Amino acid sequence: MTITATTPRPVADTGLMLTALGLGSAPLGGLYDDVPRAQALAVLERAWELGIRYFDTAPMYGLTRSEHLVGHVLREKDEEYVLSTKVGRLMANARAGRSLPPEPPRNPLDPGFVNALPFREIFDYSYDAIMRSYDDSQQRLGLRRIDLLFVHDIGTVTHGEAHARHWQALTAGGGFQALRELKAAGDIKGFGLGVNEWQVIRDALEETDLDCCMLAGRYSLLDRDAEAGFLPLARARGVALVLGGVYNSGILAAPRDGRRKFNYADAPAEIVAKVEALRSVCDDHGVPLAAAAIRFPIRHPAVTSVVIGAKTPIQLQQNVDWFDAELPEALWADLDAALAAASRP
């Protein structure tokens, strides 16, 4: 069966159906550049017009700005859709003048947000914090229903030496228990992790059952890190995977003379060389590199949906067109060979 952007795909045994292409809202929160309110709302409305029915957000994106924008549009819709947001960060008023915990070290995968709201992140994965984060998100969204909750950015890449303390809060401290209770009560349909490192999802599966996880950047046309060690495990355990970061922070969609970001930072020379090797194969097949990049993850049977962000309605339309493009089957083997050759010392 041909999969298009609007093809509904099941999430484990939750009863949820995600469109094969979902809309991520980090760009609407000001990732890299400010997106004015009217423009952000136009992107969300265009996604709806195009038949996208899976929307992902997070308190982190624009320090709550994204949740406000997503809720403003979705609470006016009568048709079915699926909404996910994230837990693990509480937001404090950065100007309150009251005592707050020390700022954590800067997450190397957090580029910051332009024109974010005046709040400050406090990482907390405990039982009480998960429950409070869920309630706070409902209020910002203005929605009673949130379908999926992802534990956001748990792991050593984000937290370094503090990871053990946060992991303790999530496990022995009741964070996972809070999520299980929310699901058992029918408040959410499922939960999982939303992370940039697959190893922590593997570790979480030793602690609890997960319904759906969002993995960013670790299974893409350029970065196959999760392919052998994790994707078969996720499929065997019945964990639906939503793949984000399919352009690896933009480098797989940027023109040769455009801004080249990889893992939220300027791309190093060796990554640029790999991208150019992939681009050369796509040129030979008459295929845009971005079309191959957005389509690549959904070919794996462990992947349920691909989530992309967009700053304008035109950009969103282009992503849908790339996803729905017919690509020659021979392309994939040629891309695999080119990446392998470019990765050799």
Nearest to 150 by CA among 175, 168, 184: 175
- Taking residues 135-158, report their average pLDDT: 96
Catalytic site positions: 56, 61, 86
Establish if 181 belongs to a structural domain: yes
Lowest mean pLDDT among 71-75, 207-211, 244-248: 244-248
pLDDT of residue 122: 93
pLDDT tens digits, 155-164: 998 999 999 9
Q: Is residue 63 over pLDDT 70? A: yes
- Taking residues 107-124, report their average pLDDT: 87
pTM: 0.95
pLDDT of residue 140: 98
- Taking residues 290-301, report their average pLDDT: 97
What b/e string do you get for 100-136 counting C-beta neighbours within 10 Å, with b at 16 or more? eeeeeeebebebebeebbebbbebbbbbebbbebbeb
Please, which pLDDT band fits residue 27 given cuts at 50, 70 and 90? very high
Q: Is residue 335 over pLDDT 80? A: yes
Domain region containing 65? 8-270+289-327
Cα 300 from Cα 298, distance rounded (Å): 5
Cα 301 from Cα 110, distance rounded (Å): 30
Q: Is residue 1 over pLDDT 90? A: no
Establish if 340 belongs to a structural domain: no
CATH at 185: 3.20.20.100
pLDDT of residue 297: 97
- When divided into structural domains, the chain yields a total of 1
Of all residues in the chain, the percent with pLDDT exceeding 90 is 85
CB atoms within 10 A of CB 199: 16
Nearest to 79 by CA among 6, 187, 149: 6
Establish if 344 belongs to a structural domain: no
Establish if 281 belongs to a structural domain: no
Sort strands 89-93 and 119-123 into parallel, antiparallel or unpaired.
antiparallel
Q: Is residue 101 over pLDDT 70? A: yes
**Average model confidence (pLDDT) across the chain:** 94
Give the distance from CA 168 to its chain's centroid: 24
Establish if 332 belongs to a structural domain: no
Distances (CA, A) of 339 to 16, 113, 270: 35, 32, 12
Establish if 98 belongs to a structural domain: yes
Cα 316 from Cα 84, distance rounded (Å): 19
Sort strands 54-56 and 82-87 into parallel, antiparallel or unpaired.
parallel
pLDDT of residue 94: 67
Please, which pLDDT band fits residue 345 given cuts at 50, 70 and 90? confident
- Taking residues 174-201, report their average pLDDT: 98
Cα 234 from Cα 56, distance rounded (Å): 20
Establish if 345 belongs to a structural domain: no
Establish if 258 belongs to a structural domain: yes
Q: Is residue 97 over pLDDT 80? A: no
- Taking residues 313-337, report their average pLDDT: 98
Asked if 307 and 22 count as a contact pair (C-beta separation under 8 A), the reply is: yes
